[in-house]
Structure 1
Amino acid sequence: MMWGAKVKTPVDMPDDMLKDCIQNVTSALEGVDNFEQDGQDVVGNIKKYMDKTWSPNWHVIIGKNFGSFVTHETRCFLYFYYNDKACMMYKAG
């Protein structure tokens, strides 16, 4: 557990970026009552924040059941669980 999230290892991200990502996602998800309805807006806002704060071309996926195989920039990948949501964030481009 890190900052209220169950982070899957290995983590490929610096600690300051890791903390910022988790805190941003958890605060965004705490205010959502109906994720099915408002999820796209939440994910879009998180992506805009990441692009602005940590430079562009971030991808943000939040859901319950999904698989992935992605190519990402070095030290720019994170996968964690917050409550019942899986969150994957990575920078590519």
Structure 2
Amino acid sequence: MAEMEAKEQKEEPKKIIHTYPLIRHSDMSEEMKTETMELVVTACEKFSASNEAAAKMIKEEMDKKLGPSFHVVVGEDFGFEIAYECANLLYMFFGGNLAIVIWKC
């Protein structure tokens, strides 16, 4: 019985992996947020092996749709502190641990 208790204590906590887009923070309008989220999902699925290519595609499309000066970071382990135009920030996760930050200066 003591062995069972020790085994239960040694088990690591289970990771929660989200297979859907999870928005952590956004101050975009609902319409803009939905369009951006769809673009991010498309880019991340298309370029699943290259975060750089996904970020480039997202940036180019955002610049075409909403004007220049968008910045995009796609990756797994990063932190950020940015200055941005109000109503132009989206921070989300996709496919579990892939984080995406989009902002306009």
TM-score (norm 1): 0.85
CA distance in 2, matches of 1:82, 1:51: 21
Structure 1 spans left out of the alignment, 5+ residues: none
Deviation at 1:32, TM superposition (A): 2.7
Q: 2:73 aligns with which of 46, 61, 64?
A: 61
The one-letter code sitting in structure 2 at the alignment partner of 1:16 is E
Work out the CA distance in 1 between the residues paired with 2:72 and 2:48: 19
Where in structure 2 are the equivalents of 1:1-93 lying within 5 Å? 4-9=20-25, 11-34=26-49, 38-83=50-95, 84-92=97-105
Corresponding pairs, count: 85
Distance (Å, rounded) in 1 between the aligned partners of 2:85 and 2:91: 14
The SS at the match of 2:68 is: coil
In the superposition, the TM-score normalised over structure 2's length comes to 0.76
Which has the higher Rg, Structure 1 or Structure 2?
Answer: 2
Which residue identity lines up with residue 21 of structure 2 in the other structure? A
Runs of 4+ in 1 over 6 A off after TM superposition: none
Gaps of 5+ in 2: 1-19
